[in-house]
Amino acid sequence: MKTIIEPFRIKSVEPIRMSTHDERVVCLKEAHYNLFAIPSQDVMIDLLTDSGTGAMSSEQWAAIMRGDESYAGAPSWFRFRDVMVDITGIENVLPTHQGRASERLLVEVMIGHGNAGIGKIVPNNAHFDTTRANIEHSGCTTIDLLTPEGQDPSTDAPFKGNMDLGALEALLSERADDVPFVMVTVTCNSIGGQPVSLENIKGVRAICDRFNKPFFLDACRFAENAWFIKQREAGQGDRPVEDIAREMFDLCDGATISAKKDGIVNIGGVLLFRDKTLFDATSNLLILTEGYMTYGGLAGRDLDAMAVGFREVLREDYLRYRIRSTEYLGEKLLEAGIEIVRPAGGHAIYIDAAAFCPHIPSHEFPGQALACALYEEGGIRSCEIGSVMMGEHAHMELVRLAIPRRTYTQSHIDYVIEIILEVHKRASSLVGYRITEGPEALRHFTAKFEPIKQAAPTC
Ligand SMILES: *Cc1c(COP(=O)(O)O)cnc(C)c1O
């Protein structure tokens, strides 16, 4: 069958408030053309992020009712822990309120307090922004070691998230004493949800062994990564996806996980250590800011929702639908001649806004222009990832369409495609934006914009 259906029936719905074009023009203006400032009630299809926006299953909701509240050692904790140990094989499990709390603790235990990171460097295939920020907060520097193929958005390759093993080896040969640990992000969010191959993870392990370095996975989308390995890596096609995921974890010394992604919950995170001494040290730090180590800043019901979500995410019918539905959106845009980061990632499609509106220069924010136009045309909220978000560090002008898990149906996605094609037809009429007010750092969240009026035609 060519059509892959959503492998679920819908039994509880959240109405979408339908808005009109005129209403959206007003909303945009009131939000100073910053989509973060638009209340989600005024958004029809919200593709701002896939984090914490997925739909929980009836089993997860049942688990929430089953959740027990206790400070220490509630049944919810044991159910959650047993699932994590079963999936990952890593015995030392800490719950946290979300991924960045896991990252902060990892940095504190592996690098130290205060400015202990000065002079040190942590390599990753590509750091996610909160991972980078947490590491750099310690004074440590970060480096992204993607392969050249991973840095080229216009070509298709199966594992663009791979780490450049030669570069990792060179870094460790030169500065082994300065590297507290090595990280690999699966799938690689910063370059569009591109996967990392099992062979590459094995290569990183071998190099880490040679230099005696701990190796951690940023495993937010471990199940999507395992599915890509099953589909694309030689010799992996017949393995159950659980086995592949397990092998990924077998190769590392621990992991940070945001359960808001492949845990399919609205809040939650995990921190895993193979080493008991590191786990004990981190448990003490966890108590300072997150809570006791059997709840980590969450309620028992949240632990139960994660316990069910982490199992459901590994079901092959779910993963087949999940990855296909993202690919479907990418495929239709490519067919219409719209340039995207290739190939389609696991959780998002990135439109090349510079190619979409070639008449708008980077300093007039083509990504912002496209994101505003998609909202105005169809009530779709996307996210600019370009010169607004990254300032002078932007390599590309992208608009990200992140797909929440199990939330929208194919007709929602068909509508998104229709709106993008509609805007594409009149792309030459889109105008650039200027920032009228905004902070220096992380300005994309709060900056105010105004459209730059086109000069009146002279004839
Ligand atoms: C979302 C994310 C994080 C941070 O997780 P939060 O739950 O948002 O704190 C870290 N790494 C990657 C790759 C992510 O996608």
Q: What pLDDT does residue 49 have?
A: 96
Q: What is the pLDDT of residues 332-372, one digit of tens each?
A: 999 999 999 999 999 999 999 999 999 999 999 999 999 99
- Summarize the confidence of residues 453-458 as an average pLDDT: 66
Do 131 and 264 lie in a common domain? yes
Query: Is the shortest distance between the CB of 194 and ligand 1 below 6 Å?
Result: no
Q: Is residue 458 part of a domain?
A: no
Do 275 and 400 lie in a common domain? no
For residue 391, pLDDT over 90 is answered with no
Q: Is residue 228 part of a domain?
A: yes
Do 27 and 140 lie in a common domain? no
Query: Is the shortest distance between the CB of 131 and ligand 1 below 6 Å?
Result: yes
CA 40 – ligand 1 centroid, Å: 21
> Measured from the CA of 52, which atom of ligand 1 is nearest?
7
For residue 440, pLDDT over 90 is answered with no
For residue 379, give the CATH number of its domain: 3.90.1150.10
Of 312, 327, 343, which residue constitutes the final position of a domain? 312
Distances from the Cα of 277 to the Cα of 110, 219, 284, angstroms: 12, 22, 11
| 294 within 8 A of 287, measured Cβ to Cβ | no
Query: Is the shortest distance between the CB of 187 and ligand 1 below 6 Å?
Result: no
Of 280, 312, 344, which residue constitutes the final position of a domain? 312
CA 271 – ligand 1 centroid, Å: 12
Q: Is residue 199 part of a domain?
A: yes
Residue percentage of the chain with pLDDT more than 90 = 91
- Summarize the confidence of residues 417-432 as an average pLDDT: 97
Do 291 and 334 lie in a common domain? no
Domain housing 434: 21-50+315-451
> Measured from the CA of 100, which atom of ligand 1 is nearest?
9
Do 226 and 322 lie in a common domain? no
State how many domains the chain has: 2
| 182 within 8 A of 254, measured Cβ to Cβ | no
Q: Is residue 248 part of a domain?
A: yes
Do 297 and 442 lie in a common domain? no
Residue percentage of the chain with pLDDT more than 70 = 99
Query: Is the shortest distance between the CB of 282 and ligand 1 below 6 Å?
Result: no
Do 244 and 296 lie in a common domain? yes
Q: What pLDDT does residue 126 have?
A: 94
Q: What is the mean pLDDT of the chain?
A: 95
Residues sharing a CB contact under 8 Å with residue 373, sequence separation 6 or more, in sequence order: 423, 430
Do 405 and 433 lie in a common domain? yes
CA 129 – ligand 1 centroid, Å: 8
Of 269, 291, 312, which residue constitutes the final position of a domain? 312
Q: Is residue 3 part of a domain?
A: no
Q: What pLDDT does residue 1 have?
A: 72
For residue 287, give the CATH number of its domain: 3.40.640.10
The runs of H, that is alpha helices, within 219-292 are: 222-232, 241-250, 276-289
* Token digits of residue 83: 């699932």
For strands 383-385 and 269-273, give the pairing: unpaired
For residue 279, pLDDT over 60 is answered with yes
Q: Is residue 7 part of a domain?
A: no
Query: Is the shortest distance between the CB of 189 and ligand 1 below 6 Å?
Result: yes
Distances from the Cα of 332 to the Cα of 93, 106, 155, 326, angstroms: 42, 41, 17, 10
CA 336 – ligand 1 centroid, Å: 32
Q: What pLDDT does residue 36 have?
A: 96
Query: Is the shortest distance between the CB of 185 and ligand 1 below 6 Å?
Result: yes
Do 96 and 163 lie in a common domain? yes
Do 280 and 325 lie in a common domain? no
For residue 459, pLDDT over 80 is answered with no
Do 285 and 343 lie in a common domain? no
Neighbours of 38 (CB within 10 A): 20
Q: Is residue 13 part of a domain?
A: no
For residue 441, pLDDT over 80 is answered with no
Spatial distance between the Cα atoms of 227 and 142, rounded to a whole number of angstroms: 28
Q: Is residue 12 part of a domain?
A: no
Confidence of residue 79 (pLDDT cuts 50, 70, 90): very high
**Closest CA to ligand 1's atom 11:** 128
| 401 within 8 A of 46, measured Cβ to Cβ | no
Confidence of residue 163 (pLDDT cuts 50, 70, 90): very high
CA 126 – ligand 1 centroid, Å: 13
> Left if phi > 0, otherwise alpha if psi is -120 to 50, otherwise beta: which for 154?
alpha
Q: What pLDDT does residue 136 have?
A: 94
CA 295 – ligand 1 centroid, Å: 19
For residue 7, pLDDT over 60 is answered with yes
Q: What pLDDT does residue 458 have?
A: 58
Confidence of residue 457 (pLDDT cuts 50, 70, 90): low
Do 72 and 202 lie in a common domain? yes
